[in-house]
Homo-oligomer: A and B are copies of this chain.
Amino acid sequence: MLKGFSVPLTPQGESSSAKLPPWHYSSDCMAVEYWTDPDAIAALLPPSLAVDTTSEGRAFFWFLDWQFTGSNDELTDPARYQYREAFVLVEAEFEGQPVNYCPYIFVDNDAALARGWAQGYPKKLGSVFQTRTFAAPSAAAAPLAAGSRFGASLSAHGERLATARIQLAGQVDDPRTVFNRPTTMRRYFPTLVAGRQDRPAVDELTLSLTDDLTVVDVWHGSAELSLPEVQGEDMHRLAPRRIGRGYRFGMAYSVTDLKILKNNLA
């Protein structure tokens, strides 16, 4: 009996890159609302997603400092159970309903990469940083308070892919007015057999399911964001034309399930 959610499977199940759910997560988040070229969004959408014509190219760029755990205090092994993440969500439509779609996402941990691929997040490796809030007062503490400034950055292969800064102005009463669309992904596993490399083994539109979603301490403020052009990467085609508000908040949820919206191979 080999155990594990993702490879390698072993009799003991310790080595598997991702263990079976539940996966519990808590994070500090920085997100910047912005508008990009709607055609650039349209060009990235998978089959069965359509442009949201009311969105005018609206997107969010996120940075996250994550801690995760299973059911046995795995978080006391922080070298394995922390990771950092950055991604972009673009607005789209699925069967007439407004959704987000994730075309680019970067993490610094292989367990996060394995879980993400199984859900449909197209994760690659990156180096991600965001300014943190510390409890001990200091010019270095970045408290959650009006006027505080936070920065964040994403790099891969030693090239800067995204830089953001926000300055807190006030608290958001109801975060559901900001983050109100479900997130869709493309779950995709390729075929290497010669002559069939254009026919993936798995190609599904999926919907992220989050148990016990909690969002706390939501602050809004002014924002800056740049997505510079880098050779060997395409994300700069989603660079901002106009920038909205920045947000800083805490978020937690658990993952035990995934919804398949559409099998693109059927």
Chain A interface (Cβ within 8 Å of chain B)? 2, 5-15, 17-18, 20-21, 24-28, 43-44, 46, 65, 67-69, 71, 73, 75-82, 103-105, 109-110, 113, 117-119, 122-125, 127, 129-132, 134-142, 149-155, 157-160, 165, 186, 188-194, 197, 201-202, 212, 214-217, 231-235, 237, 250-260
Q: Report the minimal beta-carbon distance from A36 to chain B, rounded to whole angstroms.
A: 14
Expressed in whole angstroms, the Cα–Cα distance for A153 and B231 within the complex equals: 13
Smallest distance from the beta carbon of A213 to chain B beta carbons, Å?
9
In Å, the complex CA distance between A189 and B127 comes to: 26
A30 CB to nearest chain B CB (Å): 10
Asked if residues B202 and A136 are in contact (CB atoms below 8 Å), the reply is: no
A73 closest partner in B (C-beta):
B149
Query: Per a CB cutoff under 8 Å, which of B6, B79, B149, B232 touches A190?
Result: B6
Cβ-defined contact, B189 with A202, below 8 A: yes
Q: Could you tell me the distance in whole angstroms from the C-beta of A176 to the nearest C-beta in chain B?
A: 15
Most buried by B among A109, A124, A138, A160: A138
In contact, A140 and B192 (Cβ under 8 angstroms):
no
A28 touching B257 in the complex, CB below 8 Å, given contacts A21-B197, A79-B153, A192-B119: no
A27 to chain B: closest CB distance in Å? Answer: 7
Contact of B28 with A158 in the complex, beta carbons under 8 Å: no
A-B contact sample (15 more), CB < 8 A, given A26-B137, A28-B135: A2-B46, A6-B190, A8-B104, A15-B232, A24-B139, A27-B136, A67-B141, A69-B140, A82-B129, A134-B250, A135-B217, A136-B250, A138-B252, A158-B159, A159-B159
A96 to chain B, nearest CB (A): 23
Q: Which residue of B lies closest to A130 (CB)?
A: B78
Given contacts A79-B127, A136-B215, A201-B201, contact A258 B192 (CB under 8 A): yes
Whole-angstrom CA separation of A197 from B12 in the bound complex: 17
Given contacts A15-B235, A132-B82, A153-B78, contact A140 B25 (CB under 8 A): yes
Q: Which residues of B contact A154 (CB under 8 A)?
A: 158
- Judge whether A26 and B234 touch: CB under 8 Å: no
A105 to B, closest residue via Cβ: B8
* Complex-state Cα separation, A137 to B252, whole angstroms: 6
Chosen A-B contacts, 12 in total, with CB atoms closer than 8 Å, are A11-B44, A14-B233, A15-B104, A26-B138, A28-B134, A69-B139, A76-B165, A110-B124, A155-B159, A158-B159, A189-B201, A193-B260
Bound Cα distance A44, B4 (Å)? 12
